[in-house]
Amino acid sequence: AQSVTQLDSHVSVSEGTPVLLRCNYSSSYSPSLFWYVQHPNKGLQLLLKYTSAATLVKGINGFEAEFKKSETSFHLTKPSAHMSDAAEYFCVVSEDNYGQNFVFGPGTRLSVLP
């Protein structure tokens, strides 16, 4: 069965400093992996996705993530945080062999300090 672990429930960074949000997954098959962002009172928005192409994936708003099969990780990074990045971030795994439903991690709340 699929599962996702997001090691940090809350990450706080200063504006202009790097962001690292950690995600580890468990999957029996070759997974597809996604990062979604959820701003308060707004819907979930896709940041980026990995679907067995390049292991370094670039997304919107300067975010990127690297798929590391040996470490079963898919950490999200950004070189320089902006105030508007403050939100909840969800790592998601999907196994096509199990159908199409997404399995979400518990989320990491990112705070950006001025």
Q: Which is nearer to other proteins, 42 or 70 (CB)?
A: 42
Q: Report the distance separating Cα 27 and Cα 93, nearest Å.
A: 8
Kindly tell me which of 62 and 104 has the beta carbon lying closer to other proteins. Answer: 104
For other proteins, the binding residues in 34-73 under the rule CB under 8 A are: 34, 36, 41-46, 49, 51
How far from the centroid of its chain's Cα atoms is residue 29's Cα?
A: 19
Residue nearer to other proteins on the CB measure, 15 or 22: 22
Number of other CB atoms surrounding residue 98 within 10 Å: 15
Q: State which amino acid sits at residue 38.
A: Q
Q: Applying CB under 8 A, what is the total number of residues that bind other proteins?
A: 24
8 binds other proteins (CB under 8 A): no
Q: Report which of 80, 78, 52, 79 is spatially closest to residue 67, judged by C-alpha positions.
A: 52
**Which amino acid does the sequence have at 54?**
A
Contact call for residue 96 and other proteins (CB under 8 A):
yes
Nearer to other proteins, 43 or 114 (CB): 43
Give CA 99 to chain center in angstroms.
Answer: 21
Using CB under 8 A as the criterion, which residues of the chain lie in contact with other proteins when the complex forms? 4, 32, 34, 36, 41-46, 49, 51, 90, 94, 96, 99-107
